[in-house]
Amino acid sequence: MSAAVTAATLAATTAANAAIIAAKNASTVESFSGSRIRIAIDVDGGDHGASVTLAAANDFLKDHTDVELVVVGLDTSLARVDSTISSEHRSRVVKIVATEVVAMDESPSLALKNKKQSSMRLAINAVKEGAADACVSAGNTGALMATARFVLKTLPGIDRPAIASVMPTHTGDSAAGDGGAVMLDLGANADCSPEHLRQFAIMGAALSSALTGKQRPTVGLLNIGEEDMKGNELVKAAAELIRATDLNFIGNVEGTDVYKGKADVVVCDGFVGNIALKSSEGAVKLMVQMLREELTRDWASKLIAAIAMPVLKRFKKRVDPSRYNGATLLGLRGIVVKSHGGADVLGFKTAIERAYTEASHKLIAELSERVELLNRE
Protein backbone atom coordinates (compact mmCIF):
# COMPACT_ATOMS: atom_id res chain seq x y z
CA MET A 1 0.00 0.00 0.00
CA SER A 2 1.42 3.37 -1.01
CA ALA A 3 2.15 6.14 1.49
CA ALA A 4 -0.46 8.34 -0.24
CA VAL A 5 -3.19 5.70 0.15
CA THR A 6 -2.20 5.12 3.79
CA ALA A 7 -2.39 8.85 4.54
CA ALA A 8 -5.77 9.14 2.81
CA THR A 9 -7.14 6.15 4.72
CA LEU A 10 -5.89 7.59 8.02
CA ALA A 11 -7.43 10.98 7.25
CA ALA A 12 -10.76 9.39 6.37
CA THR A 13 -10.76 7.30 9.53
CA THR A 14 -9.90 10.33 11.65
CA ALA A 15 -12.70 12.36 10.04
CA ALA A 16 -15.19 9.52 10.57
CA ASN A 17 -14.23 9.20 14.23
CA ALA A 18 -14.53 12.96 14.69
CA ALA A 19 -18.02 12.88 13.15
CA ILE A 20 -19.10 10.05 15.46
CA ILE A 21 -17.79 11.90 18.52
CA ALA A 22 -19.39 15.17 17.38
CA ALA A 23 -22.78 13.49 16.99
CA LYS A 24 -22.46 11.88 20.41
CA ASN A 25 -21.45 15.20 21.97
CA ALA A 26 -24.40 16.99 20.38
CA SER A 27 -26.93 14.46 21.67
CA THR A 28 -25.34 14.60 25.12
CA VAL A 29 -25.60 18.39 25.41
CA GLU A 30 -29.30 18.19 24.50
CA SER A 31 -29.89 16.52 27.89
CA PHE A 32 -29.54 19.90 29.63
CA SER A 33 -32.57 21.37 31.35
CA GLY A 34 -32.17 24.73 29.60
CA SER A 35 -33.22 26.66 32.70
CA ARG A 36 -29.83 26.88 34.39
CA ILE A 37 -26.65 28.79 33.61
CA ARG A 38 -24.26 26.53 31.72
CA ILE A 39 -20.48 26.83 31.86
CA ALA A 40 -18.09 24.87 29.66
CA ILE A 41 -14.79 23.85 31.25
CA ASP A 42 -11.64 22.94 29.37
CA VAL A 43 -10.72 20.03 31.64
CA ASP A 44 -7.29 19.38 30.12
CA GLY A 45 -6.05 22.97 29.89
CA GLY A 46 -3.32 24.29 32.17
CA ASP A 47 -0.35 22.82 33.98
CA HIS A 48 -2.34 20.40 36.17
CA GLY A 49 -5.25 19.37 33.96
CA ALA A 50 -8.11 17.29 35.32
CA SER A 51 -6.63 16.90 38.81
CA VAL A 52 -7.34 20.59 39.42
CA THR A 53 -10.15 21.48 37.00
CA LEU A 54 -12.51 18.66 38.04
CA ALA A 55 -11.87 19.19 41.76
CA ALA A 56 -12.63 22.89 41.29
CA ALA A 57 -15.76 22.01 39.33
CA ASN A 58 -16.95 19.81 42.20
CA ASP A 59 -16.39 22.59 44.76
CA PHE A 60 -18.18 25.07 42.52
CA LEU A 61 -21.22 22.82 42.06
CA LYS A 62 -21.54 22.51 45.85
CA ASP A 63 -21.97 26.27 46.11
CA HIS A 64 -24.28 26.78 43.13
CA THR A 65 -27.44 24.79 42.51
CA ASP A 66 -28.48 26.87 39.48
CA VAL A 67 -25.55 25.80 37.27
CA GLU A 68 -24.82 22.99 34.86
CA LEU A 69 -21.30 22.26 33.73
CA VAL A 70 -20.12 21.08 30.32
CA VAL A 71 -16.80 19.33 30.99
CA VAL A 72 -14.69 18.98 27.86
CA GLY A 73 -11.66 16.74 27.77
CA LEU A 74 -9.98 13.55 26.66
CA ASP A 75 -11.65 10.22 27.44
CA THR A 76 -9.00 9.49 30.05
CA SER A 77 -9.72 12.77 31.83
CA LEU A 78 -13.50 12.47 31.66
CA ALA A 79 -13.22 8.99 33.18
CA ARG A 80 -12.27 10.76 36.42
CA VAL A 81 -15.61 12.60 36.65
CA ASP A 82 -17.33 9.87 38.68
CA SER A 83 -14.50 9.70 41.19
CA THR A 84 -14.14 13.49 41.52
CA ILE A 85 -17.64 14.95 41.19
CA SER A 86 -19.92 14.07 44.11
CA SER A 87 -22.83 11.82 43.18
CA GLU A 88 -25.43 14.42 44.13
CA HIS A 89 -23.99 16.84 41.56
CA ARG A 90 -23.34 14.54 38.61
CA SER A 91 -26.80 15.06 37.14
CA ARG A 92 -25.73 18.65 36.45
CA VAL A 93 -22.62 17.61 34.54
CA VAL A 94 -22.39 16.45 30.93
CA LYS A 95 -19.30 15.39 29.05
CA ILE A 96 -17.98 16.44 25.67
CA VAL A 97 -15.21 14.21 24.38
CA ALA A 98 -12.14 15.84 22.86
CA THR A 99 -9.45 13.98 20.96
CA GLU A 100 -6.69 16.59 21.29
CA VAL A 101 -5.15 18.99 23.80
CA VAL A 102 -3.45 22.30 23.07
CA ALA A 103 0.00 22.31 24.66
CA MET A 104 0.99 25.25 26.84
CA ASP A 105 3.91 26.11 24.53
CA GLU A 106 2.10 25.44 21.25
CA SER A 107 1.98 28.05 18.50
CA PRO A 108 -1.42 29.83 18.59
CA SER A 109 -1.67 29.78 14.80
CA LEU A 110 -0.93 26.06 14.60
CA ALA A 111 -3.34 25.29 17.43
CA LEU A 112 -6.06 27.23 15.62
CA LYS A 113 -5.37 25.44 12.35
CA ASN A 114 -4.65 21.90 13.50
CA LYS A 115 -6.43 21.35 16.85
CA LYS A 116 -10.10 21.61 15.87
CA GLN A 117 -11.05 18.73 18.19
CA SER A 118 -9.09 20.00 21.19
CA SER A 119 -10.69 20.46 24.60
CA MET A 120 -10.09 24.21 24.30
CA ARG A 121 -11.71 24.52 20.87
CA LEU A 122 -14.74 22.40 21.76
CA ALA A 123 -15.32 24.38 24.97
CA ILE A 124 -15.36 27.61 22.95
CA ASN A 125 -17.58 25.96 20.32
CA ALA A 126 -20.08 25.17 23.08
CA VAL A 127 -20.46 28.92 23.70
CA LYS A 128 -20.75 29.65 19.98
CA GLU A 129 -23.45 26.99 19.54
CA GLY A 130 -25.45 28.06 22.58
CA ALA A 131 -24.69 24.90 24.53
CA ALA A 132 -22.93 27.00 27.18
CA ASP A 133 -23.24 30.56 28.45
CA ALA A 134 -19.51 30.87 29.14
CA CYS A 135 -16.32 28.84 29.08
CA VAL A 136 -13.23 28.65 31.29
CA SER A 137 -9.76 27.44 30.33
CA ALA A 138 -6.36 27.44 31.99
CA GLY A 139 -4.70 26.62 28.69
CA ASN A 140 -2.30 28.44 26.37
CA THR A 141 -3.26 32.15 26.48
CA GLY A 142 -2.29 32.93 22.90
CA ALA A 143 -4.11 29.90 21.53
CA LEU A 144 -7.18 30.67 23.64
CA MET A 145 -7.33 34.27 22.39
CA ALA A 146 -6.75 33.29 18.76
CA THR A 147 -9.31 30.49 18.86
CA ALA A 148 -11.93 32.48 20.76
CA ARG A 149 -11.59 35.43 18.40
CA PHE A 150 -11.87 33.17 15.35
CA VAL A 151 -14.85 31.19 16.62
CA LEU A 152 -16.84 33.85 18.46
CA LYS A 153 -15.80 37.03 16.61
CA THR A 154 -15.76 40.49 18.20
CA LEU A 155 -18.81 42.52 19.17
CA PRO A 156 -19.99 45.22 16.76
CA GLY A 157 -18.05 48.41 17.46
CA ILE A 158 -15.12 46.57 19.06
CA ASP A 159 -11.93 46.34 17.03
CA ARG A 160 -9.88 44.16 19.37
CA PRO A 161 -10.58 41.96 22.38
CA ALA A 162 -8.71 42.86 25.57
CA ILE A 163 -7.57 40.81 28.55
CA ALA A 164 -9.22 42.15 31.69
CA SER A 165 -8.68 41.04 35.27
CA VAL A 166 -9.30 42.24 38.81
CA MET A 167 -6.41 43.79 40.71
CA PRO A 168 -6.49 43.70 44.53
CA THR A 169 -6.99 47.07 46.21
CA HIS A 170 -6.87 48.39 49.74
CA THR A 171 -10.64 48.96 49.67
CA GLY A 172 -11.56 45.83 47.71
CA ASP A 173 -13.10 42.75 49.28
CA SER A 174 -13.46 39.80 46.94
CA ALA A 175 -15.58 37.94 49.50
CA ALA A 176 -18.13 40.74 49.33
CA GLY A 177 -18.24 40.73 45.54
CA ASP A 178 -16.00 43.77 45.17
CA GLY A 179 -12.63 42.24 44.42
CA GLY A 180 -10.82 45.43 43.48
CA ALA A 181 -10.11 47.31 40.27
CA VAL A 182 -10.77 45.95 36.79
CA MET A 183 -7.65 46.52 34.71
CA LEU A 184 -7.28 46.17 30.94
CA ASP A 185 -5.57 45.48 28.61
CA LEU A 186 -3.15 43.08 30.30
CA GLY A 187 -1.32 41.80 27.26
CA ALA A 188 -3.52 41.09 24.25
CA ASN A 189 -2.66 44.30 22.38
CA ALA A 190 0.88 45.68 22.67
CA ASP A 191 0.20 48.48 20.18
CA CYS A 192 -3.00 50.46 20.55
CA SER A 193 -4.65 53.56 19.14
CA PRO A 194 -6.55 56.13 21.24
CA GLU A 195 -9.79 54.62 19.91
CA HIS A 196 -8.79 51.19 21.19
CA LEU A 197 -8.28 52.63 24.68
CA ARG A 198 -11.70 54.27 24.48
CA GLN A 199 -13.22 50.90 23.65
CA PHE A 200 -11.33 49.30 26.54
CA ALA A 201 -12.79 51.93 28.88
CA ILE A 202 -16.32 51.11 27.73
CA MET A 203 -15.79 47.37 28.09
CA GLY A 204 -14.06 47.71 31.45
CA ALA A 205 -16.93 49.76 32.86
CA ALA A 206 -19.44 47.13 31.75
CA LEU A 207 -17.39 44.36 33.36
CA SER A 208 -16.99 46.33 36.59
CA SER A 209 -20.75 46.86 36.75
CA ALA A 210 -21.36 43.14 36.27
CA LEU A 211 -18.90 42.17 38.99
CA THR A 212 -19.74 44.83 41.60
CA GLY A 213 -23.24 46.04 40.79
CA LYS A 214 -22.06 49.65 40.48
CA GLN A 215 -24.05 51.47 37.83
CA ARG A 216 -21.38 54.10 37.16
CA PRO A 217 -17.97 52.74 38.09
CA THR A 218 -15.11 55.23 38.02
CA VAL A 219 -12.71 54.94 35.09
CA GLY A 220 -9.07 56.02 35.19
CA LEU A 221 -6.38 56.10 32.50
CA LEU A 222 -3.01 54.73 33.61
CA ASN A 223 -0.36 57.41 33.22
CA ILE A 224 2.94 58.66 34.68
CA GLY A 225 1.16 61.48 36.48
CA GLU A 226 -2.30 62.80 37.28
CA GLU A 227 -1.92 66.10 35.41
CA ASP A 228 -3.52 66.36 31.96
CA MET A 229 -0.25 67.40 30.32
CA LYS A 230 1.56 64.25 31.47
CA GLY A 231 2.08 61.17 29.34
CA ASN A 232 2.68 60.33 25.70
CA GLU A 233 0.52 61.32 22.75
CA LEU A 234 -1.43 58.04 22.88
CA VAL A 235 -2.58 58.59 26.45
CA LYS A 236 -3.37 62.29 25.91
CA ALA A 237 -5.49 61.57 22.83
CA ALA A 238 -7.23 58.64 24.56
CA ALA A 239 -8.10 60.85 27.52
CA GLU A 240 -9.91 63.28 25.23
CA LEU A 241 -11.92 60.48 23.62
CA ILE A 242 -12.89 58.90 26.94
CA ARG A 243 -13.78 62.28 28.43
CA ALA A 244 -16.22 62.82 25.54
CA THR A 245 -18.25 59.75 26.56
CA ASP A 246 -20.72 59.60 29.45
CA LEU A 247 -18.45 57.24 31.37
CA ASN A 248 -17.57 58.26 34.92
CA PHE A 249 -14.05 59.25 33.86
CA ILE A 250 -11.83 60.64 36.62
CA GLY A 251 -8.77 61.32 34.45
CA ASN A 252 -5.26 59.99 34.84
CA VAL A 253 -4.22 57.59 37.59
CA GLU A 254 -0.70 56.52 38.52
CA GLY A 255 0.54 53.01 39.18
CA THR A 256 0.22 53.35 42.94
CA ASP A 257 -3.39 54.49 42.56
CA VAL A 258 -4.37 51.09 41.16
CA TYR A 259 -3.93 49.44 44.56
CA LYS A 260 -5.44 52.32 46.48
CA GLY A 261 -8.74 51.69 44.73
CA LYS A 262 -8.85 55.19 43.29
CA ALA A 263 -10.57 53.93 40.15
CA ASP A 264 -12.92 50.99 39.62
CA VAL A 265 -11.53 50.57 36.10
CA VAL A 266 -7.94 51.19 35.02
CA VAL A 267 -7.29 51.46 31.28
CA CYS A 268 -3.95 50.99 29.50
CA ASP A 269 -2.47 49.35 26.42
CA GLY A 270 -1.40 45.72 26.60
CA PHE A 271 2.31 46.49 26.66
CA VAL A 272 2.07 48.69 29.75
CA GLY A 273 -0.59 46.52 31.36
CA ASN A 274 1.35 43.28 31.08
CA ILE A 275 4.49 44.85 32.53
CA ALA A 276 2.47 46.39 35.40
CA LEU A 277 0.80 43.04 36.13
CA LYS A 278 3.98 40.98 36.16
CA SER A 279 5.90 43.63 38.11
CA SER A 280 3.15 43.54 40.72
CA GLU A 281 3.28 39.75 40.91
CA GLY A 282 7.03 39.88 41.33
CA ALA A 283 6.81 42.52 44.06
CA VAL A 284 4.32 40.45 46.04
CA LYS A 285 6.49 37.32 45.78
CA LEU A 286 9.54 39.32 46.89
CA MET A 287 7.65 40.77 49.86
CA VAL A 288 6.37 37.36 50.98
CA GLN A 289 9.82 35.80 50.62
CA MET A 290 11.54 38.59 52.58
CA LEU A 291 8.89 38.39 55.30
CA ARG A 292 9.36 34.62 55.57
CA GLU A 293 13.13 35.02 55.84
CA GLU A 294 12.88 37.64 58.58
CA LEU A 295 10.36 35.64 60.61
CA THR A 296 12.57 32.55 60.59
CA ARG A 297 15.93 34.27 61.06
CA ASP A 298 16.41 33.30 64.75
CA TRP A 299 14.50 31.89 67.74
CA ALA A 300 13.17 35.30 68.77
CA SER A 301 11.84 35.96 65.26
CA LYS A 302 10.20 32.52 65.21
CA LEU A 303 8.52 33.24 68.54
CA ILE A 304 7.16 36.54 67.20
CA ALA A 305 5.96 34.73 64.07
CA ALA A 306 4.10 32.16 66.19
CA ILE A 307 2.35 34.90 68.16
CA ALA A 308 1.50 36.80 64.98
CA MET A 309 0.33 33.70 63.06
CA PRO A 310 -3.41 34.64 63.00
CA VAL A 311 -2.52 38.06 61.58
CA LEU A 312 -0.14 36.53 59.04
CA LYS A 313 -2.82 34.08 57.88
CA ARG A 314 -5.31 36.92 57.36
CA PHE A 315 -2.69 38.87 55.46
CA LYS A 316 -1.90 35.89 53.24
CA LYS A 317 -5.58 35.43 52.50
CA ARG A 318 -5.97 39.06 51.44
CA VAL A 319 -3.10 38.90 48.95
CA ASP A 320 -3.64 35.28 47.81
CA PRO A 321 -3.62 35.42 43.99
CA SER A 322 -6.01 32.45 43.88
CA ARG A 323 -8.79 34.76 45.13
CA TYR A 324 -8.29 37.04 42.12
CA ASN A 325 -7.71 34.41 39.44
CA GLY A 326 -9.54 34.60 36.14
CA ALA A 327 -9.01 37.06 33.29
CA THR A 328 -11.85 37.82 30.89
CA LEU A 329 -11.25 37.96 27.13
CA LEU A 330 -13.39 41.04 26.79
CA GLY A 331 -14.98 42.20 23.53
CA LEU A 332 -16.00 38.81 22.10
CA ARG A 333 -19.53 37.68 21.30
CA GLY A 334 -19.34 35.23 24.16
CA ILE A 335 -17.85 34.93 27.63
CA VAL A 336 -14.39 33.36 27.80
CA VAL A 337 -12.43 33.38 31.06
CA LYS A 338 -8.72 32.55 31.18
CA SER A 339 -7.42 30.96 34.36
CA HIS A 340 -3.75 31.09 35.28
CA GLY A 341 -2.08 27.97 33.91
CA GLY A 342 -0.66 27.01 37.30
CA ALA A 343 -3.83 27.74 39.29
CA ASP A 344 -4.69 25.49 42.22
CA VAL A 345 -8.20 24.23 42.98
CA LEU A 346 -9.25 27.45 44.71
CA GLY A 347 -7.81 29.54 41.88
CA PHE A 348 -9.61 27.62 39.14
CA LYS A 349 -12.83 27.68 41.13
CA THR A 350 -12.47 31.47 41.33
CA ALA A 351 -12.17 31.59 37.54
CA ILE A 352 -15.39 29.56 37.22
CA GLU A 353 -17.03 31.97 39.66
CA ARG A 354 -15.96 34.85 37.42
CA ALA A 355 -17.58 33.21 34.38
CA TYR A 356 -20.73 32.47 36.40
CA THR A 357 -21.04 36.08 37.59
CA GLU A 358 -20.59 37.47 34.10
CA ALA A 359 -23.10 35.03 32.60
CA SER A 360 -25.71 35.60 35.32
CA HIS A 361 -25.41 39.36 34.83
CA LYS A 362 -25.74 38.95 31.05
CA LEU A 363 -22.44 40.70 30.43
CA ILE A 364 -22.48 40.31 26.65
CA ALA A 365 -25.92 41.91 26.29
CA GLU A 366 -24.97 44.75 28.62
CA LEU A 367 -21.65 45.27 26.87
CA SER A 368 -23.31 45.30 23.43
CA GLU A 369 -25.83 47.86 24.61
CA ARG A 370 -23.17 50.14 26.11
CA VAL A 371 -20.94 49.98 23.05
CA GLU A 372 -23.84 50.74 20.73
CA LEU A 373 -25.00 53.65 22.88
CA LEU A 374 -21.56 55.23 23.28
CA ASN A 375 -20.73 54.79 19.62
CA ARG A 376 -23.73 56.94 18.72
CA GLU A 377 -22.12 59.92 20.42
Candidates 246, 241, 247, 239; CA nearest to 207 is: 247
CB 142 within 8 A of CB 108: yes
Report the pLDDT value the prediction gives residue 175, as an integer from 0 to 100. 40
9-18, 166-175, 276-285: range with lowest mean pLDDT: 9-18
Share of the chain above pLDDT 70, in %: 88
Q: How confident is the model at residue 24 (pLDDT cuts 50, 70, 90)?
A: low
Q: What are phi and psi for residue 125, nearest 5 degrees?
A: -60, -35
Within 13 Å, how many C-alpha atoms sit on residue 168's CB side? Answer: 17
- Decide: pTM greater than 0.75: yes
Average pLDDT in the chain: 86
In this model, does residue 17 exceed pLDDT 60?
A: no
Euclidean distance between CA atoms 364 and 328, whole angstroms: 12
**CATH superfamily entry for domain 159-325:** Isopropylmalate Dehydrogenase (3.40.718.10)
Euclidean distance between CA atoms 192 and 189, whole angstroms: 6
Report the pLDDT value the prediction gives residue 288, as an integer from 0 to 100. 83
pLDDT single digits (tens) 143-160: 999 999 999 999 988 999
In this model, does residue 346 exceed pLDDT 80?
A: yes
List the CATH code of the domain at 1-154+331-360. Answer: 3.40.50.10950
Q: What is the 3-state secondary structure (H, E, C) of 243-278?
A: HCCCCEEEEEECHHHHHHCCCCEEECCHHHHHHHHH
pLDDT single digits (tens) 202-224: 999 988 888 888 889 999 999 99
Our CA angle for 23, 24, 26, nearest 5°, is: 65
98-102, 134-138, 227-231: range with lowest mean pLDDT: 227-231
Domain boundaries, the chain: 1-154+331-360, 159-325
